[in-house]
Amino acid sequence: MHSLVASMAQHTKGYNKKRHQAMLNIVGANILRVRTERKLSQEKLGELAEVEKKMIFNYEHGLVDISVSMLTIIAEALEIEAYTLLMSYSEKQS
């Protein structure tokens, strides 16, 4: 029985990790899309958000976690509502 619980826990952990990465990818793609629509460089967005250009790159490519406060700061720099950075393309079309 213990091995079944351990197996289920391992499966859930992998599933959650995939969901987490998928969310980071959605947020990153949205940051990149809006930044390019606004014709901002990574460097300029970094200046507006008071972070290094490399962090903007990392966020856009889903390489690092992004805090709620940083999500809000970037959204403000992009002049959009923060929740829109969390929406997948299909959700925006509805």
Q: What percent of the chain has pLDDT over 70?
A: 80
Q: Report the range of poorest mean pLDDT among 17-21, 25-29, 50-54, 65-69.
A: 17-21
In the CATH hierarchy, which fold is given to the domain comprising 2-93? 434 Repressor (Amino-terminal Domain) (1.10.260)
Given its phi and psi angles, is residue 78 left (phi above 0), alpha (psi -120 to 50 degrees) or beta? alpha
pLDDT at 9: 52
pLDDT tops 50 at residue 24 = yes
Distance separating alpha carbons of residues 52 and 44, to the nearest angstrom: 10
Q: What is the pLDDT of residues 30-67, one digit of tens each?
A: 999 999 999 999 999 999 999 999 999 999 999 999 99
pLDDT at 16: 86
Residue with tokens 């899309």, as numbered in its chain = 33
Q: Name the burial class of residue 89, with classes exposed (0-12), middle (13-18) and buried (19+) by CB atoms within 10 angstroms of its CB.
A: exposed
pLDDT at 8: 46
Q: Which amino acid is at 33?
A: R
